[in-house]
Amino acid sequence: MELWDLTIRFFSMADANVRYVIFGSMLLGGAAGGLGTFAFLQRRSLVGDTVAHAALPGVAIAFLLTGEKNLLIILSGALFTSWIGVVLVNYIISRSKLKLDTALGIVLSVFFGIGIVLLSIIQKSGSGSQSGLDKFLFGQAAAISKNDVILLAIVGTALLAIMTSLYPKFKIIVFDPLFASASGLKTNFLQFLLSTLIVISVIIGLQAVGVVLMAALLFTPAAAARQWTDNLSKMIMLASVFGAASGILGAYISFLAPKFPTGPWIVIVVSFIFVTSILFAPKRGVISKMRLHLNNQRKTNREHILKALYKSGQKLNDWSKTYSISEIANFWSFAESKLKYGIRQLTRQGMMESINGRYKLTDIGISEGARVLRLHRLWELYLSKYLELPEDHLHRDAEDMEHIITPEIEARLVKLLDNPQYDPHNQEIPYTDGKVKS
């Protein structure tokens, strides 16, 4: 069957099993992504991994006691041992000098080892009903039934409803637990409740994603969402969207390649979303930061050119003189390629003009050059007067600060320095219109 036909068949959801997988994966991803945001912000990402691995003994014990693969019973057993794991972690860090990450690693390893041993015992028991129990390790979303989807819908909706109703309180205990305690909030209970919601979100995802990969679905959407926003509510919504989209796309890829389980594909998709966010997010993305750094370098270079030409004109109080590129290079340690590029940019911006291959500042350029030089000399004066730095230490610091001083800071400097006329070197401080105070 061609790719297009398979795509139509999948997204039309004509097949009942496909519908269950889509809705189950979407609900799981959305709930886990939203709740994982709080644990991610509390820097407790390993908690989810520990909870997931601690669930494995519960899966095995529930089956040994009942002899059935009833999902509700299996998940109840997983919930029980997961909470024992969480209690043990809290006990270890409260009764010993071990740190949280060490305690989590110990509990994770011990419980996962016990779970593997119990699964081995079950497999060697010869019981026919144990077939497929090991799917809880890596998940098998394709095995999701109508009843499973109903269970996921009920639990997922309840989790999101509780999270939404208690959102203001959860927000406070995540960002400022001391203030939350001082405000009279029951921080221990709220933290307990938040941890409970996270544990439940892990447990309901075991069948689809499995013990090994569930932590990735819990925290990776939150890590990806963090790259796009600083607003908590938007971050939660984005994480839920990323989680739900990963569930759908992971199920789609698994549908096209039925020999591969859905759970790992869901994790691969959410990991791809995370990598994309790390690279391309507007403010935090690596590429965006590189672009911002490059733009700042180019801005600094342009302002150095303007300042150098302004200072040259200031000596004669005449800015009509033109200069060749080599002459401008002598004003400052300009690299030739950066100098030429900066001059082209300034010419396009109307701050410089070319006359027979020679360059000079326009009126706009003169004003901008005066602004940069003014900020430089104001900062030198501030360092000299209030920090009492020697004169030979002033220039370097002012070279950096002149590019980032805002108009508000400039106004405060002028007021603080009593509208000065000269810098520490007895050089005149220009106005931004290119004139010098007389």
| pLDDT tens readout for residues 148-189 | 777 777 887 888 888 888 888 888 888 888 888 888 888 888
Cα→Cα distances 309→324, 336, 388, 426, Å: 11, 16, 30, 20
Largest CA distance in the chain: 100
Cβ(155)–Cβ(79) below 8 Å: no
**CA angle at 268 for the pair 267 and 271, rounded to the nearest 5°:** 85
pLDDT value at residue 438: 35
pLDDT digits (tens, 9 = 90+) for 75-98: 888 889 988 888 888 888 888 888
Identify whether the C-beta of residue 308 lies closer than 8 Å to the C-beta of residue 327.
no
Mean pLDDT of 231-247: 89
- Left if phi > 0, otherwise alpha if psi is -120 to 50, otherwise beta: which for 356? left
Q: What is the mean pLDDT of the chain?
A: 84
What is the per-residue pLDDT for 436? Answer: 43
Provide the pLDDT confidence category of residue 74 given band limits of 50, 70 and 90: confident
Predicted confidence band of residue 435 (pLDDT cuts 50, 70, 90): very low
pLDDT for 228 equals 94
Check: CB of residue 367 under 8 Å from CB of residue 313.
Answer: no
pTM above 0.85, yes or no: no
Q: Which residue has the higher pLDDT, 432 or 253?
A: 253
Q: Three-state DSSP class for 224?
A: helix
Per the listing, tokens 């886990």 go with 32
Per-residue model confidence as pLDDT tens digits over 271-326: 999 999 999 998 889 999 999 999 999 999 999 999 999 999 988 888 999 999 99
Question: Which domains occur in the chain, in start order?
Answer: 3-282 (1.10.3470.10), 285-438 (1.10.10.10)
- Residue 218's alpha-carbon distances to 56, 107, 120, 214, in angstroms, are 17, 19, 28, 6
Helix and strand numbers (H, E) in the chain are 19, 2
Beta strands 352-355; 358-361: pairing state: antiparallel
Instruction: From 5, 6, 4, select the one nearest 257 (Cα to Cα).
Output: 6
- Region 416-434 average pLDDT: 85
Reported as a pLDDT band with limits 50, 70 and 90, residue 133 is low
